[in-house]
Amino acid sequence: QPLNPCPLGERLCSAEEATAGSGTYTRHGFIFSSLAGWVEKKSEDGGLPVVSVVRDAESQLLPDVGAVVTCKVCSINSRFAKVHILYIGSVPLKSTFRGTIRREDIRATEKDKVEVYKSFRPGDIVLAKVISLGDAQSNYLLSTAENELGVVVARSEAGVQMVPISWCEMQCPQTHTKDFRKVARVQPQFLQT
């Protein structure tokens, strides 16, 4: 039987037709979902079917405080970089979450000297850590202040993947032009190809 998606608080059926299972509650003679997920109806022998709501294991994956995420820079200004979160650890996300890396969260030292455009450029792939769950626009606040965090993949003007040459510069192997970046000291387990 195909599972039907249901939002939180959805009225599922009359309490006379079924028993409330996990993820549901009964009110005024009806069964409602107490979480967003998928509706399951299991028939017990002879008794009423049990209605429960289960969370989809994949949809449940949300960036959490402290999680290391892989994201792509969409836009930058003098105060922050806007990113789209693509992976949590090594798990690709089904839906995109927006994140912000503020200027003061880019580096651990000399925060007042940091310049966003010398740290990230649109299109960069960045490893960052979730530091807060953000506001109603589901905008996560991210930090790249640790050595392992920062830009892991960047393309040069020529469209070639650049090579890190220091913790603050990358170089195009083709044109040898150098660009400033907040470079991640990459640990192999985080590399997303």
Give pLDDT, residue 193: 42
Regarding whether 120 and 72 lie in a shared domain, the answer is yes
- Report the pLDDT value the prediction gives residue 186, as an integer from 0 to 100: 63
The pLDDT of residue 121: 96
User: Could you tell me the CATH number of the domain that includes residue 131?
Assistant: 2.40.50.140
Pair 80, 16 in one domain: no
Q: Same domain, yes or no, for 40 and 82?
A: no
Q: Is a pLDDT exceeding 80 seen at residue 140?
A: yes
State both tokens at 120.
């990230």
Q: What is the mean pLDDT of residues 3-26?
A: 88
Question: What is the CATH number for 36?
Answer: 2.40.50.100
Q: Give the model's pLDDT for residue 138.
A: 56
Q: How many distinct structural domains can be found in the chain? A: 2
> Where in the sequence is the domain holding 145, given as residue range(s)?
67-150
pTM of the entire predicted model: 0.66
Contact 104, 115 (CB under 8 A): no
Q: What is the reported pLDDT for 62?
A: 72
Q: Which residue has the tokens 């996990």?
A: 22
pLDDT in tens, 154-171: 999 889 999 999 999 999
The answer on 104 and 77 residing in a single domain is: yes
For residue 17, is pLDDT > 50?
Answer: yes
Residue type, 123: G
Per-residue model confidence as pLDDT tens digits over 65-115:
899 999 999 999 999 999 999 988 878 887 778 999 999 999 988 888 899
Cβ atoms of residues 70 and 127 within 8 Å: yes
**Can you give the pLDDT at residue 36?**
80
Is pLDDT above 80 for 128?
yes
pLDDT (tens digit, 9 = 90+) per residue, 19-72? 999 889 999 999 999 888 888 888 877 788 999 888 765 455 677 889 999 999
Report the alpha-carbon distance of residue 51 to residue 154 in Å, rounded: 49
